[in-house]
Every structure is written in C-alpha cells, then in structure tokens.
Structure 1
Amino acid sequence: MSWVQPVRIPADVEQEDRIVGGFTARQVAILGGTGGFLYAAYLLVGDRMPLTLCAAIALPVGMLGVLLAIGRRGGMPLDRYLLSAIRHQRSPKSLTSAPEGIPPAPSWVAARSGQRPAPLRLPARGLTGDGLIDLGPDGVAAVAEVSTVSFALRTPDEQDALIAVFGRWLNSLSGPAQILVRAERVDLTETIATLVENAQGLPHPALTAAAHEHADFLANISARHDLLRRQVLLIIREPSTGANGRDAAAARALRRLEEAARLLSACGLTVRLLDSQATSALLASCFDPTAPPLPDGEFATPGEVITRGDRW
C-alpha cells in the first residue's frame, strides 16, 4: 500500500528555491561572497592592523552584504533594484525612432554639448497585412481578443467542465502563449448621444422617457466615475527560422490561433484575431495607457500617408 504525501505548491510559481537555511542560491552567493571577501581582507591586513579597527571596517561591509542579500524594495530584491537603478542612470533618456542610427550633427550647427539621443529599440518592427506583429529575428506574434464567461455563476459540474476544456488547451500548446488582461477607459459620449437620438423614434412615450432616463443615468455615472473595461488578449508567438522563416512562422501562429479558437469555443469563449488597424491602436495605447483610445477614423494604418486637411 502506497501513501501519497501532499506537497505545498506556492502561488508564485516563479519563486526562487530556498536551498540553505531558508536562503535562496542568490542570497547564499551574496552572503558567501561577502564573507569570503572579509576573510581574504583579514588574511592580507589582519596582522598589520588592530583587531578593533579590522572589526570597525568589516562591520559596515558585512551589514551591506546582509542588506543586499535579504533586503527588498518595492517587492524586488535590493541587489537587483540597485543594478536596475544604475542601469537606468547610465542609459540614455532621449530616445528616437532611428533604426539606422543617430547621425552626428553638422559642423556648422552650434549644437549644445550633452548626451545625444539614442535609437529607440522596440521588439515590434512592423505589422503585416493580416495584423500579425513582426518581431524581426524573434519571429511573429498574433494578437486575438477573447471574450469572457461568468465562472462564479456556473454550477460545480459546469465549472469542472470549463477547467477541463481550458486544461486541454494548455496541454495542446506547442509554443509560447501569453494571456494579457488589460483595463482601458470607456467613453460613453457616443453611446449616450445614440441613445438619445434613437429615443425619438420609439413607438410609445413611456419607452422614450425610459430611454432618456437611462441616458441621464449613464451621463451621471460618466461624470462621477472613471469607467474602465477589461480586455482579455491572447498572444501567440512563433520564431522564424530558415530562408522562408517569417512566412512559415506567420502560418504557424495563425494555425495555433485557429486551434485555440476551436478548443476554447467549448467554454463559450470567442477568439477574434485583431486586424492591422486594431493591433496598431493596441500598440499605441500601450505607450500611454491612461489616455483615451483614439477614434478609428483618426488612426493611421501602417504605411498610410498622413495628410493635413487644414489650409495654411
């Protein structure tokens, strides 16, 4: 008879393993490196200096090593936080879209001395006609919008069925996939205007009054609250290899997205591939998430010539 012993699995699956006395390998390396440095320094200068002076010098160094090992800032280990701060301080702050590089200023221009702008390196190189994101040497990515279902209102049997279908899709994955849940602002101005306009054609005065009351209710909510809506995105990425790697990667990404749509349809979910204009608007909104979304008529598609209609 075999006994099954339960094992605790942390909620954070990316949590580092603790190997010695509750410390991770990174913490052990920092503490061990600090102790080794202090021991080597004592062997070099310990015979030439008083013991109290050696202890006074070693105490701040040891405390710094302990802080770097166990300290955290904003949920991040202190050593990684300091490295990120140093990297941010040394990185250029002015970036511009120039894949070919920043040319030097002409000699006849009285340019001010200072840090020059650096090229803006983005993982997305462009968009294809069917809305796929070109990642350059990293392949392509397909972005689809997924509808949602109410899990809490389902019966236990229905919940088990939804989990089983979702598990089958996870087990069928043959490449990288990302589920992104984002929130964006909602502007009800057009909805309210359409509701008021259509209320005039309703067949009964009571329906017209109810439509106006609902429009006032929506306007009151918009004035008092910042309305948000959640958007669930499924991103499928495929690497490109070989001479015809980009086209093959695009075909694989679309095929995997169709398979996901077929499997997730059993959960009542709808998977819709974003076209080129919707993907462009999505990427633009990522640069300024707090800004309201641009109207469809005011957003240029990739390769479209932007003209100005006003006369000078």
Structure 2
Amino acid sequence: MTQPVRIPADVDREDTLWHGLTARQLFLLTSTGLALYALWSATRTVLPLAVFAVVALPVAVTTAVLVLGRRDGLPLDRLLLAAVRQRLAPHRHLAAPEGLHSAPAWLTAASTSHPESVTTTGAAAVPLRLPAHDIADTGLVDLGHDGVALVAECTTVDFALRTPAEQDALIGAFGRYLHSLTAPVQVLVRAERLDVTAAVAELRAQAPALPHPALQAAADDHADFLDQLAREQDLLRRQVLLVLREPGNTASSVDGLGGPGFPAALAARRTPRRAPALTEAERHAAGVRVTRRLADATTLLGLAGIAVCPLDAGQITAVLAAACSPDSFLAPSPHTAGAHHIITAAPAPPPEPELAPLPSAWSDGCPARDDSQAAFAPDNDTGHPDLPKEPSW
C-alpha cells in the first residue's frame, strides 16, 4: 500500500542546515561574528570591552535583523541589495533596440535655456531590454538566444464541486501532464481590470429592437446594473496562461526537468559568456518542438476538462503590454497597431470585447470569451466581481 507524500507549496524554499538557518544565513552570521572577534582581538589592548561593545553591538544587531528578518516572503538583506541596485540603476528606459540617438537641437537648446529642466531632460537613459525580441504572426515569441516560447490561455475547472472520485481523476490527469514535462513550463494566473463600457453600449443600442417591451425593459435594467457595478467597484477578470519555452540550442546536456545538466551549468558559471544568436534553422526547429509540446498539453489537459487555447500575435502583444503597464488608463488591445505597422487611415471604431478568433486548427474546445458575463460573477475571496471561484491548476 502506497503512503501519501506531502509536497510543499513553496518549492523554491531554501534548504536549512542548522536550527532553521540556511547556508547563506549561517555564512553571513558567522562571517560577521568572526570579523567582530578579529577586530576585538586587535584592539583589546587599546579599547576597553565596554567601549568596543558600544561599537560592535549595533553592527551585530543590524546584521541579525537583516539576515533573519523577512518582508513579503523575502529576506531583508536581499531587499536591501535590490534597493541599492534600483537606486544606482538608470531610471529611464527607452524602447530603442537599435540604440539611443542624440537629442535634437531644439530639445538641447530648451534644456540649456531652462536650467530647471536639465534634471529632467538630462537624466541618464538606457535602451529597454525585453526578453521578447519579436512575435511572429503565428504567435511564436522570439526570445533571442534563449529560444522561443508559446503562450496559451487555459480554462479552469470547478474542483470543489466535484465528487471525491472525480477529484482524484482530475488530479491524476493533471499529474500525467506534469510527468510528461521535459522543458520549462510556466503557469501564470493574473487578474486584470474589466471594462464593460462596450457591453453597456451594445445593450442600450439593441434594446429598442427587441420584440417585447418587457425584454426592452430587462435589457435597459441590465445595462443600468452593469453601469452601476462599474462605477461602484473595481471589476476584475481572472486569466490563466500557460507559457511553454523551448531553448534553441539542445546540444548541451540537460537534466530530468529540461534544464542544463550539472557539467553544463558548472562550465557556464566558470565562463559566463553570452550564448550566440540562434540561426534560422535552430529557431525553426525550436518552434516545431514547442508547437508539438503545445499539442501534447492540449491533449493531456483536455482529459482534466481544461481547454488550452493558443494566443495569436495580437493577443500576446496585449498580454505583454498589460504586464509592463498594469495600471495604464488605455487598456491594451490585440487590435492595436504594432510597432512596424504603418497607419494610413483614421482608427476604426472600438472592437467588441471578445478576443480575436483563434486559428481554425486550435479552435476546437476553446469557448468564446464573453467579458460581459464575467462582470457580475462574484469572487469568493476578494469580494470583487470576477469569474466564478475555481481552483487554477
């Protein structure tokens, strides 16, 4: 008879060596103690012990607080190091992969004539380096020397309402997919703001065409309800994304999880050189492999009732833009013109809130998304209107 094994939720937690302390904490505390002892040994003939304690005690307490303290799940020493890096790093990043150009003459003259603007216009700026270099029309994300990636949107299943036998079947189906993984996979659960303006406008526009006055009144009441809901609360929508990444160069040895093996990782640590750019053949081969993995994920997760719907280029661009600017007043849309598009006419009317249609090869089992229905479904955790409460694998 097999015994159940508890799997910790925080799989990235560091191993402890002694009394709950990790190797990094032991090293910092031990090195600080040895440094203070060496300083006391060198100055004990000159300074009394009380005077040395006044100097050494604040150092010891500060080190202990930084090493042992935690905030938001992170050690305080790492947060302090991140704060120092953020303070010293340039705060202005420009989307210029080709490099920065010199400022025009009129801007330089303006900053010279107004010294108070020199601190603003003369701030150091560096090119913005993003992991995604390009997005093909098929939805394949080019990660440069890191390979390629595909992004798919997944539906959810109501795990709590299933019987114990059905829950075991769902866990078994999802476990089979986890056992089939041979390369990095990321499951991203994100919440984004929901705009019901288009749905309200459509309800009001179509209400007079309904065949019965009662139906017209119901449509008007529903539009008023959505409008009031949007004004009184922050409407959120939950989205579950499956990100599949495939490295371009598979010549190096890999471990059981698809990552670099120990010899390759050790060699890369000794000689941290940047990997060469992928050739067109390597990029194409990586795209074929990640597409095959997406087909496997669609089949295996479909056994658990989860529909995997790949995103096209416009939808992936909208997701990346929303991740870079989550609080933007202008919601990213898959219908927005791209960086290389030439705009030759006036912008078209705002599109419907549904996502753009998926390719016919992947459209089976992917229901159309209706944001107007998700606007008034309560969330059991936060109190915000959201999609129905469902566990996200």
TM-score, with length taken from structure 1: 0.88
The AA in structure 1 aligned to 2:75 is P
- CA distance, structure 2, for counterparts of residue 8 and residue 255 of structure 1: 32
Q: Which runs of 5+ in 2 are unaligned?
A: 113-117, 250-277, 348-393
> Per-residue CA shift, 1:65-93, capped at 9, x if unaligned?
21222122343211111111110111001
Equivalent of 1:250 in 287, 293, 298: 287
Greater Cα offset, 285-294 or 220-229:
285-294
Is this contact kept in 1: 2:183–2:245, CA < 8 A?
A: yes
Residues 95-244 of structure 1 aligned to structure 2 (within 5 Å): 95-103=93-101, 112=118, 115-241=123-249, 243=279, 244=281
- CA distance, structure 1, for counterparts of residue 343 and residue 105 of structure 2: 33
Residue in 1 aligned with 2:389?
A: none
Return the offset for 1:8: 6.1
Is this contact kept in 1: 2:321–2:332, CA < 8 A?
A: no
Larger Rg: 1
Residue in 1 aligned with 2:80?
A: 82
Equivalent of 2:90 in 72, 92, 95: 92
Greater Cα offset, 122-131 or 72-81:
72-81
1:230 and 1:284, CA in 2 relative to 1: closer, same or farther beyond 3 A?
A: same
Equivalent of 1:305 in 339, 342, 346: 342
Residue in 2 aligned with 1:293?
A: 331
> Per-residue CA shift, 1:102-135, capped at 9, x if unaligned?
3556999566585421121111111112112111
Please say if 1:280 is aligned against 2:317. yes
RMSD over aligned Cα atoms: 2.7
SS at match of 2:321: helix
Q: Which runs of 5+ in 1 are unaligned?
A: none
Return the offset for 1:260: 0.5
- CA distance, structure 2, for counterparts of residue 15 and residue 150 of structure 1: 29
> Per-residue CA shift, 1:13-34, capped at 9, x if unaligned?
2222221122121111111001
Return the offset for 1:259: 0.9
Return the offset for 1:279: 0.9
Return the offset for 1:60: 1.9
Residue in 1 aligned with 2:300?
A: 263
1:296 and 1:122, CA in 2 relative to 1: closer, same or farther beyond 3 A?
A: closer
- CA distance, structure 2, for counterparts of residue 178 and residue 190 of structure 1: 32
Return the offset for 1:145: 0.8
1:42 and 1:295, CA in 2 relative to 1: closer, same or farther beyond 3 A?
A: closer
Residue in 1 aligned with 2:31?
A: 33
- CA distance, structure 2, for counterparts of residue 9 and residue 280 of structure 1: 35
- CA distance, structure 1, for counterparts of residue 60 and residue 308 of structure 2: 55
SS at match of 1:68: helix
TM-score, with length taken from structure 2: 0.71
1:254 and 1:302, CA in 2 relative to 1: closer, same or farther beyond 3 A?
A: farther
- CA distance, structure 2, for counterparts of residue 208 and residue 104 of structure 1: 60
Residue in 2 aligned with 1:58?
A: 56
How many pairs were matched up? 307
The AA in structure 2 aligned to 1:288 is S
Identity across aligned pairs (percent)?
49
